[in-house]
A and B are shown apart, each in its own frame.
Chain A
Amino acid sequence: MEFQSCVKIINEWDIVAARQLGRNVAKELGFGTVDQARITTAISELARNIYLYAGQGKVCIEKLYEGGKSGLLIIASDEGPGIPDVRKVMEDGFSTSGGLGAGLPGVKRLMDEFDLDTTIGKGTEIRAIKWLR
């Protein structure tokens, strides 16, 4: 754990703050413009999910250094209601908010690694990594 910084997600402005943080860290790590856009978009989707479904939570960005490669880890966590049917939310086109938020399959495609941990009544934590190529 070399470096971590977090943004609390409470209102819409925090979504902007979270993606700006992510973009800055992505730039520092040397990601190109396309990967910067992927990371920024993924953070925006995850932060919006927190805002829409959990009310509040936080997005943390961490720099990773592992076996000679570096990457960026996004941790989006909340203490919201949890996701009842994980398989369903990972299906393309599934939405409970009428088209707001492209959903988690999109975020998974934008990132290299994607891990979802959710408990009903306790909350959700999503970890997504993009490696610098």
Chain B
Amino acid sequence: MRIPILKLYDCLLVSIQWELDDATALQFQEDLLHKIHQTSANGVVIDITSIDFIDSFIAKVLGDVVSMSKLMGAKVVITGIQPAVAITLIELGIVLDDVLTALDLEKGLEKLQQELGD
């Protein structure tokens, strides 16, 4: 099943609602980049409120898609990282450097607007 990517003005909005398997994560990576290209979006918010764990593979896919989007000129904010996810990521030794984050979708959109200078 593919993850829906919604367009909202000059931004894209993604809400990941179920546990990601490897194939879905990689498909999402590709879909998001195509959607940025199609829509000329300047910013992306990826909300992961429903995700209750992130392993190193999903972390790498998310980190990579942020870097890839940046190459294409779009800024990405990841929102809704749960306490358990934050704890396990750090204990696992994964550092998502250069990734913009915000507590929830609302704050994420605000952060994105600031970053885009509106």
Distance to closest chain B CB from A66 (angstroms) = 24
The answer to whether A99 and B60 touch (CB under 8 A), given A15-B22, A37-B87, A48-B55, is yes
Complexed CA–CA distance, A20 and B55 (Å): 13
Complexed CA–CA distance, A3 and B101 (Å): 41
Say yes or no for B110: interface residue by CB 8 A criterion.
no
| Residue in A12, A33, A109 whose beta carbon sits within 8 Å of that of B21 in the complex | A12
Distance to closest chain B CB from A26 (angstroms) = 11
Q: Is the CB of A102 within 8 A of B84?
A: no
Say yes or no for B117: interface residue by CB 8 A criterion.
no
Say yes or no for A84: interface residue by CB 8 A criterion.
no
Contacts of A16 in B (CB 8 A): 19, 21
Distance to closest chain A CB from B20 (angstroms) = 9
Complexed CA–CA distance, A45 and B92 (Å): 10
| Residue in A12, A93, A105, A109 whose beta carbon sits within 8 Å of that of B22 in the complex | A12
Q: Is the CB of A41 within 8 A of B21?
A: no
Say yes or no for A92: interface residue by CB 8 A criterion.
yes
Say yes or no for A127: interface residue by CB 8 A criterion.
no
Q: Is the CB of A34 within 8 A of B21?
A: no
Say yes or no for A71: interface residue by CB 8 A criterion.
no
| Residue in A12, A45, A105 whose beta carbon sits within 8 Å of that of B55 in the complex | A45
Residue-by-residue, is A7-18 near B (CB-CB < 8 Å gives 1, otherwise 0)? 000001101100
**What 20 additional pairs, Cβ within 8 angstroms, besides A34-B88, A41-B53?**
A12-B21, A13-B21, A19-B53, A33-B52, A33-B82, A36-B52, A37-B52, A37-B87, A38-B84, A48-B55, A48-B56, A93-B93, A99-B56, A101-B57, A102-B55, A102-B93, A103-B93, A106-B91, A106-B94, A110-B88
A-contacting residues, B17-49, CB 8 Å: 19, 21-23
Complexed CA–CA distance, A34 and B86 (Å): 9
Nearest A residue to B52, CB-CB? A37
Q: Is the CB of A101 within 8 A of B56?
A: yes
Contacts of B19 in A (CB 8 A): 16, 20
The answer to whether A102 and B88 touch (CB under 8 A), given A12-B22, A36-B52, is no
